[in-house]
Amino acid sequence: MALPKPVDVLQMPLAGEHWVDSVFQTMTPEQKIGQFFMVAAWSNHSDNHRQYIETLIHNYHIGGVIFFQGGPYRQAVLTNRYQAASKIPLFIGIDGEWGLGMRLDSTMEFPKQMTLGAIRDNDLIYRMGAEIGRQCSRLGIHINFAPVSDINSNPQNPVIGNRSFGEGKENVAGKASAYMRGLQAQHIIATAKHFPGHGDASTDSHHTLPLISRSSEQLHDIDLYPFRRLIADSLMGVVTGHLHVPGVDNQTPAVAATLSGKIVTDLLQKELGFRGIVFTDALNMGGVSRSQRSEVVNLKALAAGNDILLYPENIREATRVILEAIQNGTLSQSFIDEKVKKILRAKYWSGLHQYKPIALASLAQDLSSPAAKQLKRELCEQAVTVVSDARKLLPMSKLDTSRVASVAIGAMPGNVFQKALASLAPVQQIVSPERPQGDAEVEELLASVGDASTVIISFHGMNQSAFRQYGINQPSLSLIKRLKEKGKLVVVAAFGSAYSLNKLTEADAIVCAYQEFDEMQQATAKVLFGNLPSKGALPVSTGDFKEGLGLSADPSGRLLPASPESVGMRSSELAKIDKMVELAVHDRVIPGCQVLVARRGKIVYDHNFGGLTYAGNTEKVTDQTLYDLASLTKVLGTLQAVMVLYDQKKIDITQKASVYLPELRGSNKQNMLIQDLLWHQAGLISFYPTLWDRTRTSSGSLNPAYYSNQSDSAHTLQIAPTLWARPAVKDSVWKWVIQSPLSRKVDADGKPSFVYSDLSFLMLQKIVERVSKQSLDRFVDREIYQPLGLKYLTFTPLQKLTNPHCAPTEQDTYFRNQLLVGTVHDQMAAVQGGVSGHAGLFGNAHDIAKLLQMDLQRGVYGGQRILQPQTLPYFTQTISTRSHRSLGWDKPNPESTTSSYLAPQASAQSFGHTGFTGNMVWVDPAEELVFVFLSNRLYPTGGNNAINTTRLRRRIHEVIYNSLKEEK
């Protein structure tokens, strides 16, 4: 590939040259030499160290410092102090290959370069470079010694390894260039290292001088390629490596590239045309310091063509030796002056001509912004790589997750990966904090897996050393083999080196996750279950797995997380929801809630607030919290079932309900049309409390003819955790529904008016069950929830889920006389065992959003078609002349603008529903919006109506619409 001609990256505007000349004219010989020294500093050392650095500034006029370990605030204070002590502004550098967190506590750590090498989209790498650059700038840093531009062609490389983008020269060059451009867009000098290429080393230059045995042709074709690309792309800095490269310089025995004029001057500056700043690698490293005195090393490095001597030792002697070399003609004054001016030009480019002290206020917050955290999540999500899946197991949403087990090797209970798995499916969790050491421990793990048909084995606490087997021992591999022998499917997730994968080939599917960030563990779990696509590609080859390999586990049509801006929304506006809900929790409007917003198939807002109760030590709301959905059951359960049967031509909604329910014939309901039941205009009363009241005695106590405090052969219908009923009570309830009176509300034509009625959906439930020959809960689970991978949307969660985390609703003092947790609040649904057409569903925001996204996408989600394309639009149109509603769905009421829950901006196409317990779902096809709000506003008593009086849901809904950008 032809590269552009290198440019002079330090070519200054006239004002810049004036500043350079004005500073240069004031400098003494010692001050000029001082500009070459960039000394090591720490912000976590004693006051003696600070005084030492200040002595170097005052006495030897050093040009800069490179900070190592410490903390951001302490470093900022020292930077301000050191800059104030220096007559010429200091260069401040940091070796932050993966961000400030590589060196400083309480700062952000981005993925290492090998992880980034798996990402196909280099724009993300640019954005990371720009974000690291922003953070550097905020901390008064001008130089980041990154990116590593070495091609890691030797898997045994002990020092580069995961610091490299990989083994492919195009991939390394493209990503190094993107990282460099991001840094320099923030006016942070980027440095490509370690010239002319450290990737083929087999020893560590921190301790000895590695030999790079490549030929000149190999070096030019492979190792130098990224450096040529970056130089052509306006690279500002290069770090020379402590490497012996006879393919370029074979005249001096065992000379380090850092000290070789043939490499630094002839190759880098003359042949490749580099015009920026040349930095040595740290001069205290064994690769150059073991065989000669430090002052000699400094002189040789300067003479070879380097501009800045990094981490020099014995500054006093080095200054003396360089002055002598100028005096005796070994180094010319013009040679020195040109280097000094080059450094001053770089300082001007970095903004040091307008130096300002670092502002200490809000420093911690500025260095860890929400946008930076979101970027880190995106990087992790894009890096996860599926390298094998011969049996097409991924994504696992189609598997029976009740028979999936997770074995986390090297992790503690409650680890992030298994928590993430639990948020997606009820996966059995097993941990082995230490690697199994023998057959007995392997057998113990096998026994723990039990009858699980699929086992996810995750490796944690891995290392980067091939010598130490990357942290995967033989018993761990035996576990995989033994599971396979027992006929189980095995999926492996490796949170470590890509080079480890060739040890894991017995697994049915292998996922490489590279690092053990929380964000990476969460992303890997989502890839496994189809909540994220697999987009990563191997940056290196290992065994039969070749560089560039990355299988697609594409969750087509699934909800995926993304930034609001990516779908035309504003983060700053959506952030207003936080304060709004936090205030509502504080004011006891609700104990807590889940709020989820999706647009165009992307989840852009997904937050949990408060706790399950108002108690200070209460369990916090999480993604796994299940809420009693109350009347949302109508649209998320019964209506979905009606639409499926309508699709299958098993229900004609224009027919009378009595066609499917013969027992209605001869009753006051024999002529009711199914579509009128859906429109709430069939003439039914809104609520009939005597239906469940009839199961109590005249004194208000529970009638023993129906109820028992214990489960026995006669009482098998669970009403509450400590209350059971005879199944025959359901038949009694249905008989009472049939006998219920009609509403007296009629329109001008004498036809029944709109009356919102629970009884409509009790009748629709019976139709679904009679036609499908299944109970409602079984039908929706089999036909809808299971195909969509919805694990937490369910009736009777206490019976169907293991240890469900249910938010309590009301402290029931008039029927069940207990706090209701995991059993339905609605009395009519309760006396039917928790499965009713109008109430009874429990669920979380994520599962509900998936179901609604299926509706929005006209019946398809994740490759599963649930409804025909025309069905949802038919059911959501408003065609009744007596009801503002569509078939089953609530709609915006054009005659009312006083809704306590619906934003006035909602389009006429939008549809949704609310629930008595404090819930709301709303879908707007015009804006491709899905909104889910779940709460338990009834806790501890149903008298709390503040969610309506404060219009909390409506105000959140309005914020969502206000966040939409005007798109041209």
Residue 5 has pLDDT above 80, yes or no: no
List, for residues 306-351, the tens digit of each pLDDT value. 999 999 999 999 999 999 999 999 999 999 999 999 999 999 999 9
Kindly report, residue by residue over 249-262, the tens digit of the pLDDT: 988 888 999 999 99
Give residue 693's pLDDT.
Answer: 75
Please tell me what DSSP assigns to residue 40.
Answer: E
The rounded distance, in Å, linking the Cα atoms of 128 and 150 is: 19
Query: In 3-state terms, what secondary structure has residue 705?
Result: coil
Partners of residue 625 on adjacent β-strands:
805
Quickly list H helices, 166-253.
169-185, 216-218, 225-232
Residue 782 is given by DSSP the state I
Q: Are 311 and 40 in contact (CB under 8 A)?
A: yes
Which are the contacts of 470, defined by CB distance < 8 A and separation ≥ 6?
Answer: 462, 463, 464, 496, 497, 499, 500, 503
Using the predicted structure, report yes or no on whether residue 688 has a pLDDT greater than 70. no
- Secondary element (H or E) of residue 323: helix 315-327
Helix (H, G, I), strand (E, B) or coil at 74: helix
486, two tokens: 């027992």
3-state secondary structure of 223: helix
Phi, psi at 911, each rounded to 5°: -155, 160
The Cα 837–Cα 636 span in angstroms is 10
Residue 392 three-state SS: coil
Cα–Cα distance for residue pair 445/736, rounded to 1 Å = 55
Number of H helices, E strands in the chain: 36, 31
Q: Which of 281, 508, 855, 890 is catalytic?
A: 281
Cα(176)–Cα(233) distance, integer angstroms: 11
Tens digit of pLDDT for each residue in 270-314? 999 999 999 999 998 877 866 678 899 999 999 999 999 999 999
Paired with 932 in beta bridges are: 596, 921
- Is residue 890 annotated as a catalytic residue, yes or no? no
Rounded to an integer, what distance in angstroms lies between the CA atom of residue 913 and that of residue 922? 7
The Cα–Cα gap between 457 and 417 comes to 11
Amino acid occupying residue 653: I
- Alpha-carbon distance of 199 to 370, in angstroms, equals 35
The mean of the pLDDT values for the chain is 93
**DSSP helix/strand/coil, 277:** strand
CB contact set of 957 (below 8 Å; sequence gap of 6+): 901, 902, 903, 906, 920, 922, 931
Cis peptide before 147 (omega within 30 of 0): yes
Strand extents, DSSP E, 197-302: 237-240, 277-280
Residue with tokens 């997904």: 606
* H helices present in 635-757, as ranges: 639-647, 674-679, 690-693, 728-739
* Per-residue pLDDT reduced to its tens digit, 148-174: 999 999 998 888 999 999 999 999 999
Q: Which residues of 808-836 are buried (b: 16+ CB within 10 A; e: fewer)?
A: bbbebeebbeebbbbbbbbbbbbbbbbbb
**Per-residue pLDDT at 603:** 93
Half-sphere exposure of 187 (CA within 13 A, CB side): 12
For 445-482, b/e burial (b = at least 16 CB within 10 A) is bbeebeebebbbbbbbebebeeeeebbbbebbbbbbeb
Q: pLDDT (tens digit, 9 = 90+) per residue, 872-900? A: 999 999 988 888 899 999 999 888 767 88
Active-site residue flag, 337: no
Residue 388: its H or E element: strand 385-389
Q: What is the pLDDT of residues 385-424, one digit of tens each?
A: 999 999 989 988 665 656 899 999 999 999 999 999 988 8
Lowest mean pLDDT among 101-115, 267-281, 416-430: 416-430
Opening angle at CA 522, ends 519 and 525, nearest 5 = 150
Give dist(CA 343, CA 390) in Å, integer: 56
Rounded distance, CA 796 to CA 793, Å?
A: 10
336 dihedral zone (left: phi>0; alpha: psi -120 to 50; beta): alpha
Identify the burial level of 154 via C-beta atoms within 10 angstroms of its C-beta, where 0-12 means exposed, 13-18 middle and 19 or more buried.
Answer: middle
Nearest CA-CA partner of 462 in 413, 502, 409, 505: 409
Model confidence band, residue 968 (pLDDT cutoffs 50, 70, 90):
very low
**655 pLDDT above the threshold of 70:** yes
Dmax (CA) for the chain in angstroms is 120
Helix, strand or coil for residue 271?
helix
CA distance 71 to 103: 8
Among the ranges given (48-62, 395-409, 420-434, 666-680), the one the predictor scored with the smallest mean pLDDT: 395-409
Q: Per-residue pLDDT tens for 196-220?
A: 999 888 887 888 888 998 999 999 9
As a whole number of angstroms, the distance between CA 958 and CA 902 comes to 8
**Rounded Cα gap, residues 673 and 276, in angstroms:** 81
Q: Which whole number is the average pLDDT over 804-832?
A: 91
Q: Kindly list the distances between the CA atom of residue 2 and the CA atoms of 179, 228, 692, 843, 912, in Å, as whole numbers in the listed order.
A: 21, 10, 82, 58, 58
What's the CA gap between 78 and 81, in Å, rounded?
A: 5
Give the residue carrying structure tokens 């930077």: 79
Confidence class of residue 2 from pLDDT cuts 50, 70 and 90?
low
Quote the pLDDT of residue 905.
94
- With cut-offs at 50, 70 and 90, classify the pLDDT of residue 425: confident
At residue 325, the pLDDT reads 96
Catalytic hit among 45, 49, 187, 206: 206
Q: State the number of CA atoms in the 13 A half-sphere of 171 facing the CB.
A: 25
